Amino acid sequence: MQQSRQREKASSGRWGARLARLALGWGLLGMATALAQGAIPNATCLACHGQAGFATRLGDGSSLSLYVDARQFAHSVHGGKLACVDCHTDITTAPHPPRPFPNRRAVSLTYYQVCRNCHFEQYTRLLDSIHFTTLSKGNRNAPVCVDCHGAHDIQPPNQPRSLISRTCGKCHGQIEQVYLRSVHGRALVDGNPDVPVCTDCHQAHAIANPLARSWHLNIPQLCARCHANPALMAKYKISTQVLTTYLADFHGMTASLYRKENITPAEFTATCTDCHGVHDITPVTGAGSKVIKANLLKTCQRCHPGATANFPAAWLGHYAPSLRHAPLVYGVKMFYGIFIPFIIGGLILQILLHLWRVVVNR
């Protein structure tokens, strides 16, 4: 199912990319036609809007700055590519009639729609997001394009990569602060390109509800994208057996079953983040680690309230049993590995001998 979902995603991605190219094409075509028709040049708009301090009053009495910094615009991703009227298609004359707005937020919620004309792919993804659901339920603070990217000063959104957590942190500041202290966040700030930022786990546009059960069950695969990658993990000497050992134990088996059968359980089994934390993941041997011996029992007790000091020992951790880790389990396994074939082999031999005696001695 996962595979078919991925395939579906890939093909919708491909179509999305085609549509996006088409949309960009149309946008550029529109631009060319506009130029051919002698559309209003930026300089005309900037004659008024390039004046610092230029402003108007909104319906709620607040002031809206109408100043556009020409240099900032020229240095943005659209600088030298777009004319003002490529986005402000509603303005066809200069000077132009006023368009009254009740408040600042209404300006953004009206004008962000222009991005769709050329970035159809990102726009349709946004429609699938929890942000858009929140917006359509009436929370006008949920972000639209301009809240994350800006309008006249748009820069490449992921350069440097740490810009991404700052963008999300504008509204999710507490989570950003926690994340920046985690093993992943610290490395990001040091310029390490291998660790996950907000969008690696949540995506940028089609952000799903991370508290949904179905999303929760996908967490092992999310972490495994990196933590089961031998080339990547070798650099940090981190074991890549974490996924397979997880899937082989009771929690992992239950999670796989729920996922396969599409079951929504009342009581939830543990996935990676229930033991390691989410935005506050630490090195496993670090002092604040939720999984060092001193804290592990507390971690288990969240779901196993009756657990006592010996309880964590019921679980092998991420180790396959060996002489070093869980020697008893290893020993029992070895014992059965030799003992059972020996017994069965003996039984078969005995029966064969018996038959042979019966046949030969008849």
In this chain, which of 12, 19, 75, 77 binds ligand HEC, going by CB under 6 A?
77
> Judged by CB, which is closer to ligand HEC: 106, or 333?
106
Residue whose C-alpha is closest to residue 258's, from 297, 207, 216:
216
List C-alpha distances in Å: 96 to 54, 112, 327. 15, 20, 82
Stretch that binds ligand HEC, among 1-9, 10-18, 151-159, 336-344 (CB under 6 A): 151-159
> Judged by CB, which is closer to ligand HEC: 163, or 344?
163
Residues 6+ apart with CB under 8 A from 179: 165, 185, 198, 279, 280
CB of 332 to ligand HEC, least distance (A): 16
What distance in Å separates the CA atoms of residue 140 and residue 13, rounded to the nearest whole number?
29
In this chain, which of 98, 191, 230, 306 binds ligand HEC, going by CB under 6 A?
98
> Judged by CB, which is closer to ligand HEC: 311, or 333?
311
CB of 347 to ligand HEC, least distance (A): 33
108-147 positions binding ligand HEC, by CB under 6 A: 108, 111-112, 114-115, 117-119, 122-123, 126, 130-131, 134, 139, 141-147
299-318 positions binding ligand HEC, by CB under 6 A: 299-300, 302-304, 311-312, 314-315, 317-318
> Judged by CB, which is closer to ligand HEC: 71, or 354?
71
Examine residue 295 and tell whether it contacts ligand HEC (CB under 6 A).
Answer: no
Stretch that binds ligand HEC, among 2-10, 190-198, 328-336, 346-354 (CB under 6 A): 190-198
Residues 6+ apart with CB under 8 A from 153: 69, 72, 73, 75, 76
> Judged by CB, which is closer to ligand HEC: 225, or 357?
225
The interface mask with ligand HEC, positions 195-224, x = CB under 6 A, is xxxxxxxx-xx-x-xxx----x--xx-xxx
Question: Hey, how many other C-beta atoms are within 10 angstroms of the C-beta on 1?
Answer: 8
Stretch that binds ligand HEC, among 8-16, 182-190, 341-349, 350-358 (CB under 6 A): 182-190
> Judged by CB, which is closer to ligand HEC: 153, or 333?
153
CB of 270 within 8 A of CB of 303? yes
Contacts 24+ apart (CB under 8 A), 51-59: 56/98, 58/100, 58/101, 58/102, 58/103, 58/104, 58/107, 59/100, 59/101, 59/102, 59/103
Stretch that binds ligand HEC, among 5-13, 160-168, 334-342, 343-351 (CB under 6 A): 160-168
Q: What is the distance in angstroms between the CA of the first residue and the CA of the last residue of the chain?
A: 61
Size of the site for ligand HEC (CB under 6 A): 139
What distance in Å separates the CA atoms of residue 333 and residue 339, rounded to the nearest whole number?
10
30-49 positions binding ligand HEC, by CB under 6 A: 31, 40, 42, 44-49
CB of 148 within 8 A of CB of 167? yes
CB of 345 to ligand HEC, least distance (A): 34
Stretch that binds ligand HEC, among 7-15, 104-112, 326-334, 348-356 (CB under 6 A): 104-112
CB of 340 to ligand HEC, least distance (A): 24
Question: Hey, how many other C-beta atoms are within 10 angstroms of the C-beta on 68?
Answer: 19
Stretch that binds ligand HEC, among 6-14, 225-233, 333-341, 346-354 (CB under 6 A): 225-233
List C-alpha distances in Å: 109 to 70, 206, 208. 23, 18, 21
Question: Hey, how many other C-beta atoms are within 10 angstroms of the C-beta on 358?
Answer: 9
